[in-house]
Amino acid sequence: MRICPRSFAWLFVMQPDFTTSGDDSRRNSSVRPRKLLDQLADVLRAKHYSYRTEQAYIPWVRRFILFHNKRHPREMGAIEIEQFLTHLAVEGRVSASTQTQALCALLFLYKHLLKIDLPAPGATAGLPSSANPATVFHLHCS
């Protein structure tokens, strides 16, 4: 059995070359932390979610961040999620299933990537369920 040397070329291309210089500062400066949405895609793939789920979740997380003026999700919580879902329902006029998909994307982000447990929403408990977008928190999205 003959092995083509080009079939292993990717091993050497993807490996960084640290043998040419002993300068550690140059090596560390070239490594950037991955962006949040790239990390989200990595976690979705690691958990074997479908590509279509990845295509749906990433834009919702992006819209959530942009809605809150590019604040990092680690700085936000359940109140900001409620505000975003309310905005989708009232001004975006999206259906309940669309709100649920956005909520599931955000819950996945907080639970699996940021490792933050969100408290149960209680701020709008007095509203009827049709006017309360936070009631979809009780759905089992994971």
pLDDT at 15 over 60: no
Q: Is the pLDDT of residue 117 over 50?
A: yes
pLDDT of residue 87: 96
Residue 13 domain-assigned (yes or no): no
Q: In total, how many domains does the chain have?
A: 1
- Gap between the Cα atoms of 27 and 35, Å rounded: 19
Regarding pTM above 0.75, the answer is no
Any domain includes 28: no
Confidence of residue 12 (pLDDT cuts 50, 70, 90): very low
Q: Print the domain residue range for 50.
A: 36-118+130-138
Indicate which CATH number applies to the domain containing 97.
Answer: 1.10.150.130
The CB-based long-range contact list for 122-125 (8 Å cut-off, 24+ gap) reads 123/79, 123/82, 124/82
Per-residue pLDDT of 123-138, as tens digits, reads: 444 444 555 555 555 5
Is 98 inside any structural domain? yes
DSSP letter (8 states) at residue 44: H
Give the pLDDT mean for 97-111: 96
At 32-83, the pLDDT tens digits run: 889 999 999 999 999 999 999 999 999 999 999 999 999 999 999 999 999 9
Distance CA 58, CA 102 (A): 10
| Spatial distance between the Cα atoms of 72 and 36, rounded to a whole number of angstroms | 9
